[in-house]
Homo-oligomer: A and B are copies of this chain.
Amino acid sequence: MQFSKSTDYALHALVHLGNSERCNNVGIKELAGALGVSESYLSKIMSKLRQDGIVRAVTGVNGGYELARSADQITFLDVIQVIEGRQQLYECSNTSSRQHQFLAEEAAVQPDQKRLNENVCLIEKVMYGAEQQLYQYLRGHTIQSVLDEAFKRWTHKEDKK
């Protein structure tokens, strides 16, 4: 139960892109250099981010990557879901066990009445709630917010000089 390194790399790469957006097209070489990871692997990740419309890429001379939308439109949740996938945080197995009969079965009697979403057991409901709680938080933080903080510190440091 941990975020993958790929997610780590993706977040760092996006921050880098957001920071050097003045011009555009940051090459994989510069990107990999700044993060200290291999170009090979990072390109895989960038490719994924492109397919999901987080970044744009142009091939050829002077090509590279840039953010596909402004940094404050890219949430942590966006990035994480692209890399980690969109499966549920918890998916229950053994829905045919006696346990399940006891905790969740009830919907089987009236299959037409309202969707059976309401009839899941509490275990599932709690785990689903946890997921929503997490997602809500991650939706509230963007790449831009990281940049803002970094910039604030930077100027603060300059002031002290």
Contacts and interface: CB of A to CB of B under 8 A. Distances in A.
Interface of A: 1-5, 7-8, 11-12, 15-16, 19, 33-37, 76, 80, 84-85, 87-94, 96-99, 102-103, 106, 121-123, 126-127, 129-130, 133-134, 136-138, 141, 145-146, 149-150, 153, 157
Given A35-B99, A122-B150, A126-B76, A2 B90 contact: yes
Identical copies of this chain, number:
2
A129 B123 contact: no
A103 B145 CA distance: 12
A141 B153 contact: no
A52 to B, nearest CB: 16
A138 to B, nearest CB: 6
